[in-house]
Structure 1
Amino acid sequence: MDTAPHQGRIWPTVASIPVSAVTDKPPGHLGPVRTEDVAGAVGTGRDTTGGRDTTGGRDTAGGAGAATGVGTAGARPRGARANPADELGFSGDPEQRGDPGDDMLHAQRVWDASLAANRLDAAGVADERQRVATADVTASVSLIVDGRPEDVRASIESVLEHTEAHVLALDLGDVDGAGEVLHELALRHPKRITEWRVAEAPHWRGGSATWGACRAKLLRLDTSEVHVLMETSVVLTGDALTPLVAAVADGAVAAGWHGLERPPDGQEAPGAGLERQLIGAGWHEAGPGRVRALRGDLMAVRRSAAIGALPEDARDGENADLELSMALKGELVVPSDRLPVRRLHEPEAPQE
């Protein structure tokens, strides 16, 4: 990605930034979208990171079904004693010796080896499998910069530290000097950060730049297969992107940090922009597994699917992530393993 023409220049408005990228190219390294199970079913137990089957057993080889040796933490061979060597005066310590032909000692050693393999898996083998599986999938993290310069610094630096993703950042009006912080980081990391800066202030700070226009512009400026929406109030404490990208590569249309489920039937009524009105009327946190909607604070989506689904008329972004989620055709998921992410500030309580 050639970043030189963009770094440091200040455009008058978001709309004035030219888009030269091809925005409709097919995803080269992504599997097909799972459309037979459209988002909306919750509680299926699907584990998008290859960690858990529908029965609650752990299958670290990436599939669901019967437990098979290494992927069976906590399971015992049928009929095995907790410590068969103890009956012969041995603790099971590998340094202690007994009859090498004794079946009980052999079973204990096999069990010990299985436990060691489980510990190895817990140490990161499953994560490494995901990294290898997504190595060829291109992903970019998109950020709207609209103030709180220290948050901007912390958020961007966390992406640089814990991932290999490219950062696409759009600054609106250099609010409180946040644009200068972005520019400083872009100069220090020109191969990792592409910045666009505009004089137009954000709509939610009294200006004219809307959330929908900004997100749509970043989406079209991106050339990656997976587009990650992220807020500058969020920081990564580890590689939180690989599980999200892996879920998308595996067939989900989008994957996110937080999922939402719709209100019970009967609470909804038809109407444009409905989802923006419903967040206080029964929508609740959901996941892991398949969910009806995803929060936009950290959300990975197939870029080709997001074009046309993103609500470009959204003004301040409130519940626009719901509209995006409900317009996407395919499976939306929250990974089963807790993602290494934290929020810098607690969200403000809604006004009464």
Structure 2
Amino acid sequence: MDTAPHQGRIWPTVESIPVSAVTDKPPGHLGPVRTEDVAGAVGTGRDTTGGAGAATGVGTAGARPRGARANPADELGFSGDPEQRGDPGDDMLHAQRVWDGTLAANRLDAAGVAAERQRVATADVTASVSLIVDGRPDDVRASIESVLEHTDAHVVALDLGDVDGAGEVLHKLALRHPDRITEWRVAETPHWRGGSATWGACRAKLLRLDTSEVHVLMETSVVLTGDALTPLVAAVADGAVAAGWHGLERPPEGAVTPPDDTEAAQGGLERQLIGAGWREAGPGRVRALRGDLMAVRRSAAISALPEDARDGENADLELSMALKGELVVPSDRLPVRHLRRHG
């Protein structure tokens, strides 16, 4: 990706940034999209927020609190308690410990083999992480550096008005890593912070400026603590139209209360209805994905993105429902965390 003509230049508006590349070319290294109907798919209720806890499901009276880990070794297949109490001379106990250790080693080996297979399978798939920079410079730095540290993906970032100096942070990182970061900077400030640049226009511009097969929507409130992108890209390469960190499940029919007339008069009635009552879902096939970390076939996203979305509220749900194909959350917990909530 050639960065020389615009690196460091400040454009007046998002719309004024020219797009000269052919942006709707067919994917070269992705498998065909699986188009099975995913409407009505339900998640497992598993906690996908990145914490240690797991949902306990139905009939779990007396279960440990969410986030508690009474026996971390159990997650690797050990059957004994944390202290492994018992008679050291007990042959059965010794055999059980040997078996537990073998299971744990096998699971770790399997995880490593699976990760390596994913890396090999996606080696030729091009992917870019797209960021909208709208302030909070420390978060911008941490988010971008985490992508550089843990992945090989290119970063395409759009700064809106250098809010709080965040654009300057992006610019310095781009100068330091010209082969990894492509920046665009505009004087226009974000709509959700009192300006005129809308979420839809920014995301649409980033999609068209990117030339990768897989376009990763990521928020600057998110940091990677490991390679969280390979499982997402692998799912897309395997036939999903999109894969993400957080899945969502549609609320039951009749469970949504329509907004009142005042809210409707302010516009975005459909967007408000879409966002009401959705619940966390996954792993596996889901009805929608959150846009905090979401990998999507770029050619599919160009026609599905809600370009009229002003501040991104529930726009990720609109994008999800407009995509034709399977949306999935990987089965393994992704190494990702939120820094803080961005309004």
C-alpha deviations, 1:72-99, integer Å up to 9, x for none?
9999999999999999999999999999
Distance 1:246 1:71, change over 3 A: farther
Distance 1:272 1:252, change over 3 A: farther
How far does residue 308 in structure 1 lie from its aligned partner after superposition?
1.2
How far does residue 115 in structure 1 lie from its aligned partner after superposition?
3.8
Distance 1:68 1:287, change over 3 A: closer
Which residue is equivalent to 1:277? Answer: 272
**Identical-pair percentage:** 95
C-alpha deviations, 1:304-328, integer Å up to 9, x for none?
0001100000000011001100100
Which moves more between the two structures, 250-259 or 35-44? Answer: 35-44
- CA–CA distance in structure 2, aligned partners of residues 61 and 272 of structure 1: 31
How far does residue 245 in structure 1 lie from its aligned partner after superposition?
0.4
The TM-score, its normalising length taken from structure 2, stands at 0.78
How far does residue 20 in structure 1 lie from its aligned partner after superposition?
1.1
Give the match's secondary structure for 1:70. coil
C-alpha deviations, 1:103-157, integer Å up to 9, x for none?
9999999979974761442552211111111111000000000000000000000
How far does residue 38 in structure 1 lie from its aligned partner after superposition?
3.8
| Aligned 8 A contact 1:39 1:329 in 2 | no
Moved over 6 A (4+): 57-114, 268-272
- CA–CA distance in structure 1, aligned partners of residues 169 and 229 of structure 2: 23
- CA–CA distance in structure 1, aligned partners of residues 152 and 71 of structure 2: 46
Distance 1:243 1:226, change over 3 A: same
Distance 1:334 1:271, change over 3 A: farther
How far does residue 6 in structure 1 lie from its aligned partner after superposition?
1.8
- CA–CA distance in structure 1, aligned partners of residues 72 and 312 of structure 2: 61
How far does residue 59 in structure 1 lie from its aligned partner after superposition?
22
| Aligned 8 A contact 1:83 1:91 in 2 | no
How far does residue 281 in structure 1 lie from its aligned partner after superposition?
2.9
- CA–CA distance in structure 1, aligned partners of residues 49 and 330 of structure 2: 16
Larger radius of gyration: 1
Distance 1:255 1:94, change over 3 A: closer
Give the unaligned 5+ runs of structure 1.
45-56, 345-352
| Aligned 8 A contact 1:3 1:194 in 2 | yes
The TM-score, its normalising length taken from structure 1, stands at 0.76
- CA–CA distance in structure 2, aligned partners of residues 78 and 155 of structure 1: 27
Alignment of 1:129-168 (within 5 A): 129-168=117-156
How far does residue 190 in structure 1 lie from its aligned partner after superposition?
0.1
How far does residue 24 in structure 1 lie from its aligned partner after superposition?
1.3
| Aligned 8 A contact 2:245 2:290 in 1 | yes
C-alpha deviations, 1:144-188, integer Å up to 9, x for none?
000000000000000000000000000000000000000000000
Distance 1:260 1:205, change over 3 A: same
- CA–CA distance in structure 1, aligned partners of residues 30 and 326 of structure 2: 14
C-alpha deviations, 1:230-265, integer Å up to 9, x for none?
000000000000000011001100000001111111
- CA–CA distance in structure 2, aligned partners of residues 94 and 264 of structure 1: 41
Give the match's secondary structure for 2:36. coil
| Aligned 8 A contact 1:72 1:118 in 2 | no
Give the match's secondary structure for 1:224. coil
Distance 1:298 1:92, change over 3 A: closer
Distance 1:272 1:64, change over 3 A: same
| Aligned 8 A contact 2:215 2:296 in 1 | yes
User: How many residue pairs end up in the alignment?
Assistant: 331
- CA–CA distance in structure 1, aligned partners of residues 109 and 336 of structure 2: 22
Give the match's secondary structure for 2:318. helix
How far does residue 205 in structure 1 lie from its aligned partner after superposition?
1.0
- CA–CA distance in structure 2, aligned partners of residues 170 and 178 of structure 1: 11
